[in-house]
Amino acid sequence: MTTRTPLRPARSDRVPSVALAGVHGFGRTYVDRLGARAAAGRLRWTGVAEPRRQDGVVPAQVPWFDALPDLLAAGAPDAVAIATPLPTHADLAIAALRAGSHVVLEKPPTTGLAEFAEVLAVARECGRLVQVGFQSLGSAALDHVRDRVARGGVGDVTGYAAAGCWVRPRSYFTRAAWSGRRHLDGRVVADGVVTNPLAHALATALAVAGRTRVEDVTAVQVDPYRVNDIETDDTTSLVVSLREAPDLVVAVTLAAAEPGEPFVVVEGTRGRLTLHYTLDVVVEEVPGRPPLVTRHDRFDLLDDLLGRAADGGPLRAPLVAAGAFTRVLDAVVTGPAPRAVADAHLRRTPLPGGDEAVRLVGVEEAVATVLRERRTFAGCGVAWTR
């Protein structure tokens, strides 16, 4: 079954102007989206801000600035998309908001609670919107899961979980100065597995639970490890206590044997819902009947921002709803440093070009154990935590 939720285009005849900060890396996805929408006459692409100039990356007629303040000084667009390194997010978002632009801010929106509160306050003061680039929150699959829970489809909820087993080679952690760092040049970076590459797992689980504000998280147990030669964590479990809701357990790694689809689970007294959030697929399992698989549409969060800026409706992923995520991020970045896993538990596979992948033997089973026992890796007594 495929649900079709109508997309909500901008209800305005005026074509909005949009600029982009950060062009290379993930910014390329914005380059493609801005290019397609500009070609279709849906927006005016008024500039990019990016210190690393390179010909042929953006259309020649799009003005290129080395820094966002220069772009804003030349004329603030209706919206700015920010796809830059994590420690730059807050300053760039505040600059854009103060200039009068709405903002799409890539995840994680900020690297701590103080910056989060500051950006939120500036947005309110300036009367501007901030959409956070958790694209999984644009999925109608999320609405479907919430609806099934509200209708009692799996009975009373007994727990939430999020899991992800990805593979990231050594080159992933050397691609930028900030990769794999907890801090850099005196600033928090927060490039750990649960705060950056698999951040969607945590953010989506909190959204499914309807616990998205800072105050919705009452306690966080952090159990971080690293198998790569990095400063931050690449294999982490959490137990997140939620206000007036069952706990959320999270188990994620970048050191799996094979890349797997990450997922969020709602456990209930009658059954279970599994949201495969990168695929917009939901599996509902209730004993005594075959699993029910549904596929859903996804709203583009840039389109959503432009639409809601025009019609005043609620955003799919507003900054305020990244509060609970940021509360957990803050607990991770201010919590214990990740422990290096002993070499005996690791397998190293050489890759082309001198690259290498490090596998943590049995991490998939350990992730499954965390979800089953609803405790951290260490709490479950997993071998490599001892």
Tell me which residue has tokens 């609405």.
143
| Position 243 contacts ligand NAD (CB under 6 A) | no
Residues 6 or more apart whose Cβ sits within 8 Å of residue 125: none
Beta strands per DSSP E along 94-234: 102-105, 130-132, 157-165, 183-184, 187-188, 217-226
Looking at 276-334, list the stretches that DSSP marks H as alpha helix, in order from N- to C-terminal side.
Answer: 301-311, 323-333
Choices 46-54, 154-162, 206-214, 319-327 (CB under 6 A): range interacting with ligand NAD: 46-54
DSSP-derived secondary structure letter, 107? S
Radius of gyration of the chain (CA): 21
269 binds ligand NAD (CB under 6 A): no
Q: Of the candidates 19, 62, 72, 86, which one interacts with ligand NAD according to CB under 6 A?
A: 86
Q: Using alpha carbons, select from 95, 151, 111 the residue that is nearest to residue 328.
A: 111
Out of 21, 190, 214, 230, the only residue in the binding site for ligand NAD (CB under 6 A) is 21
Counting DSSP H helices and E strands in the chain, the numbers are 9, 20
**Closer to ligand NAD by Cβ: residue 19 or 154:** 19
Nearest to 228 by CA among 349, 340, 377, 352: 340
Binding mask 171-200 for ligand NAD (x = CB under 6 A): -----x-------------------x----
Q: Is 83 in the site for ligand NAD (CB under 6 A)?
A: yes
Min separation Cβ 213 and ligand NAD, Å:
21
Strand partners, 105: 82, 132
Nearer Cβ to ligand NAD (51/291): 51
Between strands 79-82 and 17-21, the pairing is parallel
Q: Count of residues binding ligand NAD (CB under 6 A)? A: 24
Judged by CB under 6 A, which stretch of 18-26, 206-214, 317-325, 373-381 contacts ligand NAD? 18-26
Choose between 107 and 374: whose C-beta lies nearer to ligand NAD.
107
Q: Is 16 in the site for ligand NAD (CB under 6 A)?
A: no
Candidate ranges 45-53, 181-189, 210-218, 313-321; the one touching ligand NAD (CB under 6 A) = 45-53
Which residue among 18, 19, 23, 58 contacts ligand NAD (CB under 6 A)? 23
Q: Which is nearer to ligand NAD, 26 or 356 (CB)?
A: 26
26 binding ligand NAD? (CB under 6 A) = yes
User: Does 47 contact ligand NAD by CB under 6 A?
Assistant: no
To ligand NAD, the closest distance from the beta carbon of 202 in angstroms equals 13
Identity of the residue numbered 347? R
Backbone angles phi, psi at 110, to 5 degrees: -140, 170
107 near ligand NAD, judged by CB under 6 A: yes
* Touching ligand NAD, residues 135-174 (CB under 6 A): 135
Distance in angstroms (rounded) separating the CA atoms of residues 12 and 16: 9
Match 């694209």 to its residue by tokens: 135
Q: Which long-range contacts (CB under 8 A, 24 or more apart) does 346-351 make?
A: 346/227, 346/255, 351/169, 351/171
22 belongs to the binding site for ligand NAD (CB under 6 A): yes
Helix, strand, or coil (residue 31): helix
Residues in contact with ligand NAD by the rule CB under 6 A: 21-27, 49-52, 67-68, 83-86, 88, 106-107, 133, 135, 176, 196
